């Protein structure tokens, strides 16, 4: 990528990247806040992919986004990477060292956890708490001082309470408990048998255990739990009640600080894309935690990383910049549909 033809332009451009276990998204835009392109690529989670795979995935999305937006490294003022699995300094250092030979030395890089992009997508770079509930679960709070507090996110073997995996696993357990005669009847049994086209509950075992991506497969079953709960199934409703309670506990520690009580709570992740689950969580959270400024971001975590890239360069995200980011992001998404 070094050596790419330099476009003669004084316009500064910024790149924000959200890298997860499923895909990587790259946003490129200018100093006015106009997003010029959004590009998707392969996973870039250092915990589940090799360093070479992560490097290639990141360079591919950057290259594609720069080519499609006619951007050169001579214009790029900052690149902000918000990457899953990059919590620890040594992981960030390894990724930075792998990338630097392919990226012009004049371009500043910052590598952070993927939650930072998700948080900024709802707070526009300001303080607040982000609660992510997807395949896994985690909460991050960023204070006005720049201090960052993490709660949860310790992986499905130890934590990930209230996550899609947790909900799906509980749903599976309920089905087998009913089959054993040690649990109540649940709609989840017929839902699962129908999904996998089998006639007996034990037939589910080889199907589940032989999946290549068993964690993601179990997490996908959370949708069946939501459907069963919306149909009045008491077992599924109890699972959701327990899951929302676990997620509230991820948020509660930050609420001990008065600043976080007034700051936005940003909801991200696939579980909050389900209206039933989202409403159950918000209602219960307000009962237990008091008044909440709940934010559902209008832009993606990759756009949040773009916001952080601009901020890192010293650009203030005022109302005009914010409006242009929102409008141009929506236009880019529509263009891709």
What is the arithmetic mean of pLDDT over 123-131? 92
> Phi and psi dihedrals of 131, rounded to 5?
-115, 115
The SS3 assignment for 152 reads: strand
- Quote the CA–CA distance of 225 and 100 in Å, as a whole number: 45
Q: Identify the burial level of 253 via C-beta atoms within 10 angstroms of its C-beta, where 0-12 means exposed, 13-18 middle and 19 or more buried.
A: middle
Instruction: Evaluate the CA torsion angle 7, 11, 17, 23 in order and state its sign.
Output: negative
Looking at residue 167, its pLDDT comes to 96
Helix or strand run (H / E) with residue 267: strand 265-268
Q: What is the DSSP pairing of strand 13-19 with strand 35-41?
A: unpaired
**Are the C-beta atoms of 44 and 54 separated by less than 8 Å?**
yes
Rounded alpha-carbon distances, angstroms, from residue 220 to 25, 213, 224:
21, 11, 8
**β-pair partners for 142:** 128, 148
Looking at residue 10, its pLDDT comes to 75
Low-confidence winner among 61-65, 76-80, 207-211 (lowest mean pLDDT): 207-211
- Band of residue 5 on the pLDDT scale cut at 50, 70, 90: very low
pTM of the predicted model, to two decimals? 0.83
What is the arithmetic mean of pLDDT over 22-42? 92
Is the pLDDT confidence value at 76 over 60? yes
Angle, in degrees to the nearest 10, between helices 234-251 and 222-230: 120
Write the CB contacts of 298 (distance below 8 Å, at least 6 apart in sequence).
326, 329, 330
- Band of residue 1 on the pLDDT scale cut at 50, 70, 90: low
Helix or strand run (H / E) with residue 115: helix 114-123
Is the pLDDT confidence value at 3 over 50? no
**Are the C-beta atoms of 9 and 77 separated by less than 8 Å?**
no
Looking at residue 288, its pLDDT comes to 93
């Amino acid at each position: 990528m070094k050596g790419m033809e330099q476009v003669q332009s004084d316009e500064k451009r910024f790149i924000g990247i959200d890298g997860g276990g499923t895909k990587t998204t790259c946003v490129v835009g200018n100093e006015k806040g106009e997003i010029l392109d959004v590009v998707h690529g392969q996973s870039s989670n250092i915990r589940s992919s090799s360093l070479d795979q992560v490097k290639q995935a990141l360079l591919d999305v950057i290259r594609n986004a720069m080519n499609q937006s006619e951007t050169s490294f001579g214009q790029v003022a900052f690149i902000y990477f918000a990457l899953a699995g990059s919590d620890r300094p040594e992981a960030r250092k390894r990724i930075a060292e792998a990338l630097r030979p392919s990226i012009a030395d004049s371009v500043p890089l910052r590598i952070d956890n993927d939650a930072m992009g998700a948080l900024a997508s709802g707070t526009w770079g300001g303080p607040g708490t982000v609660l992510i509930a997807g395949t896994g679960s985690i909460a991050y709070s960023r204070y006005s001082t720049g201090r960052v507090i993490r709660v949860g996110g310790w992986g499905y073997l130890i934590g990930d309470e209230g996550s899609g995996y947790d909900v799906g696993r509980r749903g599976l357990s309920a089905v087998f408990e009913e089959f054993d005669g040690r649990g109540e009847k649940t709609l989840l049994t017929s839902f699962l048998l129908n999904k996998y086209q089998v006639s007996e509950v034990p037939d589910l075992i080889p199907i589940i255990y032989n999946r290549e991506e068993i964690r993601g497969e179990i997490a996908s079953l959370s949708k069946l739990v939501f459907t069963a709960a919306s149909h009045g199934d008491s077992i599924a409703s109890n699972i959701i009640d327990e899951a929302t309670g676990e997620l509230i506990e991820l948020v509660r520690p930050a609420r001990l600080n008065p600043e976080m009580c007034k700051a936005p709570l940003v909801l991200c992740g696939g579980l909050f894309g389900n209206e039933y689950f989202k409403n159950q969580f918000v209602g219960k959270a307000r009962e237990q935690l008091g008044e909440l400024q709940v934010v559902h971001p209008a832009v993606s975590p990759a756009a949040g990383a773009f916001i952080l890239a601009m901020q890192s360069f010293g650009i203030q995200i005022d109302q005009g910049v914010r409006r242009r980011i929102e409008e141009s992001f929506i236009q880019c998404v529509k263009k891709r549909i």
